[in-house]
Amino acid sequence: MPLLLLLFFLLRFFTSFQSALSAAPFDIAYHIDCGGPTNVTDPFNTTWLADRYYTGGSTSVVSEPLHFRHPQEKTLRYFPLSSGKKNCYILPLPSGRYYFRTFTVYDNYDGKSHSPSFDASLEGTLVFSWRSPWPESLARDGAYSDLFAFVKDGEADVCFYSIATDPPVIGSLEIRQVDPLSYSAADLGDRFILVNYGRLSCGSDQWGPGFTNDVDYFGRSWQSDEELRTPNTSKIVRVVSTRESISGVNQAPNYFPMKLYQMAVTGNGVLEYEIQVDAKMDYLLWFHFAEIDSTVNKKGQRVFDVLVNEKNASRVDIFAQVGSFAAYSFSYTVHNLSSTTLSVKLVPVAGGAPIICGIENYALVPNDIATMPEQVTAMKALKDSLRVPDRMGWNGDPCAPTNWDAWEGVTCRPDINDTGLVISQIDLGSQGLKGFISDQISLLTNLVSL
């Protein structure tokens, strides 16, 4: 699998406090201040839990705490090699679908001026790669990354894997329950993790949880579209906004927020965006529109085609579809992208000026195969009975993701049906471990040597 691009939103300083938070339709949410010693409440009234649910590591503080706005951005947890190559946050979670968001920052917390290389996985699937040297602004200011994933085994495993001897770092971890049918799940099933490669609110600054007080039931934050406009588009673009209420928002299963449709960009001519992506993967795009210009009040007055990498995705006449001041969204999937740029073009057909409120772009990352559940149980029992030391990094799934080494001393292979991974060999000879071997070892039916 290709390395996944880092997608990040640099921190900006902003002030808006617009609407009060209201209760979300899904109740499970965790906000963990990694490295934080006490529970703290941020300016948006979110309570961050003192650091917990981690398998090891140590805590630290960024080198310039005053440069960061929120308490949860100033502290971090890092995983030196003495706690093993693989470490995790493991949280109890009922089966369901969740939004995961991490804050990652280096800011020379260790005084070594070397931003680390490491990978992150979710539920045994590689989702993010951080490669040293990080861009200067990223290392200093940090970045938020997010994704949607299903959890089916009663706990969420967010794991970090050290490349060479670099200690992985994490600043904060948020998890929120979302509608299991959101984002085309009825068609796609539960076999993919949707990794955010761009969630644009056109004509706006960054907003959403952690950035402004605007409500988004899924906890999504929305980034400005400005930097992704092509130079030609920047020349002609005009921002329009409205305070009028928009109908059809905050509805199951996606709960797209009203604010998204109260702002838009328009311009006489072709509007084009270029989004950086990783090649050879599939992407799910969502497009958001609303006719918020009251002078457009008949069908046929504003018609345009949406082209994705020069392919016609759809013809759009917002008024004909939903009328004025109403949300109109649709999705489109790009398969096996061959380039590292995804181009989205809005080409006028009638009326001259396309309009758009938002674009979301998610990589469809297929779930990696995981270790067979009964073998995971057996390995956990073995870890406890042998008191396997931290430095061996026996955390998370023993074998997955398949792009990482298995637990130290453990060899895995796919089972006969290729539906899961099984343990084929355990070699702890050089580790000087003594203890009794748990009865659960009998569950390791594919073991050929111990």
Ligand X SMILES: *[C@@H]1O[C@H](CO)[C@@H](O)[C@H](O)[C@H]1NC(C)=O
Using CB under 6 A as the binding rule, the residues of this chain from 154 to 213 that contact ligand X are: 213
Q: In angstroms, give the least distance from the CB of 139 to ligand X.
A: 30
Residue 343, interface with ligand X (CB under 6 A)? no
Q: Which of 38, 245, 297, 340 binds ligand X (CB under 6 A)?
A: 38
> Which residue, 122, 98, 103, is CA-closest to 175?
98
Cβ closest to ligand X, residue 350 vs residue 450: 350
Q: Which of 343, 202, 345, 347 is nearest to 269 (CA)?
A: 347
Q: How many residues bind ligand X (CB under 6 A)?
A: 21
Q: Does 417 bind ligand X (CB under 6 A)?
A: yes
Which distant-in-sequence residues (6+ apart) come within 8 Å of 388 by Cβ? Answer: 382, 394, 428, 431, 433
Our finding on whether 445 is near ligand X (CB under 6 A) is: no
Can you tell me which of 18, 19, 39, 442 binds ligand X, judged by CB under 6 A? 39
Q: Where are the alpha helices (DSSP H) in 115-179?
A: 136-141
Could you give the CA distance from residue 72 to residue 90 in angstroms, rounded to a whole number?
19
Is residue 312 close enough to count as binding ligand X by CB under 6 A?
Answer: yes
* Total Cβ atoms within 10 A of residue 270: 17
95 vs 419 by CB, closer to ligand X: 419
Residues 145 and 104: beta-carbon distance below 8 Å: yes
Paired strand residues for 194: 148, 364
Q: Which is closer to ligand X, CB of 191 or CB of 280?
A: 280
What are the contacts of 45-54 at 24+ separation with CB within 8 A?
A: 45/21, 46/209, 46/210, 48/72, 48/172, 51/75, 51/77, 53/89, 53/90, 53/91, 54/87, 54/88, 54/89
Nearer to ligand X, 6 or 50 (CB): 50
Query: Near ligand X by CB under 6 A, which window of 141-149, 193-201, 320-328, 409-417?
Result: 409-417
Kindly write down the DSSP assignment for every residue of 304-317, as one continuous string. EEEEETTEEEEEE-
Residue 315 binds ligand X, judged by CB under 6 A:
yes
One of 15, 23, 27, 45 touching ligand X (CB under 6 A): 45
> Judged by CB under 6 A, which stretch of 36-44, 218-226, 388-396, 436-444 contacts ligand X?
36-44
Which among 59-67, 159-167, 307-315, 401-409 is the span making contact with ligand X, rule CB under 6 A? 307-315
- Is residue 430 a contact point for ligand X (CB under 6 A)? no
Q: Binding residues for ligand X, per CB under 6 A?
A: 17, 20, 38-39, 44-45, 49-50, 213, 232, 280, 305, 312, 314-315, 336, 338, 415-417, 419
